[in-house]
Amino acid sequence: MIPLSWYLILSAILFSLGVFGFLLKRNIITIFMSIELMLNAVNLSFVAFANYWNTHPRALPSGDPIVPLSGHVFVFFVMVVAAAEAAVGLAIIISVFRTRETLNVDRVNLLKL
Amino acid sequence: MVHQVLFIVFGLICVAGAINLLVQRHPINSALSLVVVMASLALIYLLLGAEFVAAIQVIVYAGAIMVLFVFVIMLLNAGAEERTRGSRIALFVGVPATVVLAGTVGWLLVHGSARLGGVSIGSSDFGETHAIARLLFRDFLLPFEITSVLILIAIMGAVVLGKREG
């Protein structure tokens, strides 16, 4: 039996480190990886809560029971969206690099390509 | 007891990998430390009894997405990160705000820990693939189909963006 809060604290730490990377890193690819780290942190709390509601069954205010496995399905959707986001984001990075010849976000300060 | 020890070990590996991601200046080193974070998160998912999620974490995240990242880093021949000033607002407002937010959440979690209770593994049929599949293809059928459309749009967008002009 592990306290749920341990998982949530680990998730919060990973999310904060992702935010730090997003704020402090200057390389556009590393910034993108920090976003992936934040998504992973949120996935961890989804899975932890799925297990938690499985061991502590409870009903919603509407009377319907909570379906614990929904947490796993949400993680699946987050991963699908992250994959789509990675494909489009990296394509944008490649096309920015072609015109600017740099990956430093301080040199990419115009919205146009 | 074993469960707790394994959680602490993999949690520490996770945090170490995430810190290494921030410290390294070369993006390929950051990408590899992100793979470490994802692999140890997959093991934490296994401890939580989420076998399917652990498997797709390794296959989709550590496999597909990170291969895409490493491929782009190598394609663009990305060197070490330049040291530029960056945004002053991000440094002097964003970082303290994140510290305050994380500290508040951590404090609340530490103090509410007893009321929250704990997680446990042992219910054998929880997190198995067939139960998730039943949920995914029955209750979540419409979102599932919409994500397939999203993937299709993302593929087309990536092709259009990646195509060399002219």
**A24 occurs within a structural domain:** yes
Distance from CA of B1 to the nearest CA of A (A): 8
Which pair of structure tokens corresponds to residue B105? 């959440």
Please say if the pLDDT value at position B53 is more than 60. Answer: yes
Checking if the pLDDT of B150 tops 60, the result is: yes
Decide if pLDDT at B107 tops 70. yes
Among A9, A14, A35, A37, pick the best mutation site for testing chain B contact (most B Cβ within 10 A): A37
Angle, vertex CA A83, rays to CA B162 and CA A5, nearest 5: 145
Q: Write out the two tokens for B84.
A: 């530029």
Predicted confidence at residue A32, as pLDDT, reads 93
Tens of pLDDT, residues A80-111: 999 999 999 999 999 888 888 888 888 887 77
User: How close B137 gets to chain A, by Cα (Å)?
Assistant: 10
Burial environment of residue A86 by CB neighbours within 10 A (0 to 12, 13 to 18, 19 or more): buried
Which of B4, B23, B28, B48 is the mutation pick for testing A, counting most A CBs within 10 A? B48
Comparing CB atoms, the residue among A26, A52, A104 nearest residue B119 is: A52
**What distance in Å separates residue B93's CA from the closest CA in chain A?**
10
The count of domains in chain A is: 1
| Domain assignment present for A31 | yes
HEC profile of B43-56:
HHHHHCCCHHHHHH
Residue-level pLDDT at B137:
92
Contact check, Cβ <8 Å, B139/A85 = no
> Which residues in chain B are closer than 8 Å to A8, comparing Cβ atoms?
105, 109
Please indicate whether residue A66 or residue B127 has the higher confidence score (pLDDT): A66
- Indicate the domain borders of chain B: 2-127, 128-166
pLDDT band for position A58 (50/70/90)? confident
In a domain, A112, yes or no: no
Write the residue in B7, B22, B45 that is nearest to A17 by C-beta. Answer: B22
What average pLDDT does this structure show over A59-66? 82
What is the three-class DSSP state of B128? coil
| Tens-digit pLDDT profile for residues A75-86 | 999 999 999 999
Instruction: Indicate if the pLDDT at residue B86 is higher than 70.
Output: no
pLDDT category, A47, cuts 50, 70, 90?
very high
| pTM reported for the whole predicted model | 0.91
Domain that holds residue A34: 4-107
Question: If you search the block for the tokens 């993680």, which residue do you land on?
Answer: A75
Report the SS3 class of residue B16: helix
Q: Which of B136, B76, B142 is nearest to A99 (CA)?
A: B76
- Whether the per-residue pLDDT at B19 is higher than 80: the answer is yes
Contact (CB<8Å) B69/A33: yes
For residue B166, pLDDT over 60 is answered with no
The class that CATH gives domain B2-127 is mainly alpha
**Has residue B82 got a pLDDT over 80?**
no
Q: What is the mean pLDDT of residues B152-164?
A: 89
Q: Tell me if A113 is assigned to some domain.
A: no
Residues comprising chain A, all counted: 113
**B100 falls in which pLDDT band (50, 70, 90)?**
very high
What integer pLDDT is reported at residue B15 of this predicted model? 96
User: Which helix (DSSP H) or strand (DSSP E) does residue B80 occupy?
Assistant: none
User: Between A3, A13, A88, which is nearest B158 by CB?
Assistant: A88
Nearest CB to B109; choose among A8, A23, A98: A8
SS (H, E, C) chain A: CEEHHHHHHHHHHHHHHHHHHHHHCCEHHHHHHHHHHHHHHHHHHHHHHHHHHHHCCCECCCCCECCCCHHHHHHHHHHHHHHHHHHHHHHHHHHHHHHHCCCEHHHCCCCCC
* CA separation for the pair B79, A87 (Å, rounded): 21
Q: Give the mean model confidence (pLDDT) for residues B68-85.
A: 85
**B81 confidence band (pLDDT: 50, 70, 90):** confident
pLDDT tens digits, residue range B118-134?
A: 777 765 667 788 889 99
CATH number for position A59 = 1.10.287.3510
